[in-house]
Amino acid sequence: MNTETFNPLQVVQRQLAVAAQRLGLDPGIYELLKEPAKVLEVGIPVKMDDGSIKVFRGWRSQHSHATGPTKGGIRFHPEVYLDEVKALSMWMTFKCGVVGLPYGGGKGGIRVDPRKLSTRELEQLTRKYVDSIAEIIGPEKDIPAPDVYTTPQIMSWFMDEFSKLRGYNVPGVVTGKPVENSGSAGRSSATARGCMFVIREAAKQINLPAAGTTVAIQGFGNAGSNAAKLLNDIGCKIIAVSDSKGGIYDPNGLTPSDVIAHKAQTGTVVGLAGAQSITNEDLLTSNVDILIPAAFENQITTDIAKRVKAKIVAEAANGPTTPEADEILFNKGIMVVPDILASAGGVTVSYFEWVQNIMNFYWTEAEVNQRLEDIMVKAFKQIYDMHTNMNVDLRLAAYMVALQRIANTIKSRGWI
């Protein structure tokens, strides 16, 4: 498989520059937004189960607080690095701007493989990380959330540790918590549900009916597995899925609940009875109507893009398509629903959770899902209108919609 990669910070800076130029914005806007406003790097010492001390590297990046407190997930991953965290915080600013949330973007990361830690070690790592960044986070400053390899349980430890430091409960310091610990109904499926809503709207634009529409999903974590269930529920046929260990394919359609149960039992989707084994490259280039990259950055490269057959690519992951690949897909007439829109359901329901925490008044799952649908459908329409009116692809249209909102706020605050 082509190993073409791009520095994600350079990618998002390039996207920002193009959008700013197309909108004719004051160059000062780009200067304010091209780098995060604040980045904290910390060493996190943890006493391991064997008695040794290990120090893990961690970061928290706060891109912009022009429109409100910063907001964004924390990923625990063995290959996370500073520029990735900075880029992800910038993407979060634009993701919040796309759907009109009163947030700027934040992101955190710890370089660790959490699958190799015991529960006690993982809890200690989480609590020590909170201790290290406590001065720069809080409900009015910066609100973390789950991301790659972080869970509601980790968020619960996070909230508990911060509350201990403050001396009182502070549920609004973090979102993505378990429902029983001040979390929001509907949060666990929110990223996938938001993606499903915009896929549905995109499909209408090209007269693609849901019934029988074929789908391939790269990445079968929270977003990918929930997307499989939700799309299956509206009549789509999930014919291929994959995870870090490989993929499976069934032209007659996979049953999402069977795949989820198999992965829970074996740790991978590979080996499901009755399904053929395929590679991630096979999945990305499979003959399907809708392709959902829901894994990591730089998955659709120029080589892959030339062979993509899908009519719609909906980016449930952050930055899965390289810039050159993006251009190839556009020239092929493939509709790319960009990450800052397609994956915005998670931060939208995180916003709902934060609001509920502050009010100490909680909504039903039906209310949450309806509010999410309203926001995602409205955002898609605004972006599609920008795409049509300005003759740009959906990615640039999304950046332009978000950046215009952010720029207006910056100007009204007198920063430019």
Quick one: angle between helices 365-390 and 82-99, nearest 10?
A: 90
Contact 197, 246 (CB under 8 A): no
C-alpha closest to that of 366 among 124, 193, 186: 186
Contact 341, 199 (CB under 8 A): no
Tell me how far apart the alpha carbons of residues 360 and 27 are, in angstroms, rounded to a whole number: 42
Tokens, residue 413: 């605050």
Tell me how far apart the alpha carbons of residues 161 and 171 are, in angstroms, rounded to a whole number: 11
Tokens, residue 134: 């406590």
DSSP string computed for 304-357: HHHH---SEEE--SSS-B-HHHHHHHHHTT-EEE-HHHHTTHHHHHHHHHHHHH
Tokens, residue 415: 């920063």
Q: 107 an active-site residue?
A: yes
Tokens, residue 390: 């300005």
Tell me how far apart the alpha carbons of residues 29 and 19 are, in angstroms, rounded to a whole number: 11
227 CB burial (10 A radius; 0-12, 13-18, 19+): buried
Tell me how far apart the alpha carbons of residues 379 and 374 are, in angstroms, rounded to a whole number: 9
Contact 130, 57 (CB under 8 A): no
Among 86, 107, 128, 229, the active-site one is 107
Contact 291, 313 (CB under 8 A): yes
**What are the helix (H) ranges across 182-334?**
190-205, 222-233, 256-266, 280-284, 302-307, 323-331
Tell me how far apart the alpha carbons of residues 352 and 177 are, in angstroms, rounded to a whole number: 12
**Which of 111-131 are b and which e, b meaning 16 or more Cβ less than 10 Å from the residue's Cβ?**
bbebeebeeebbbbbbbbbbe
Alpha carbon 320 to chain centroid, angstroms: 11
Q: Which residues are marked as active site?
A: 107
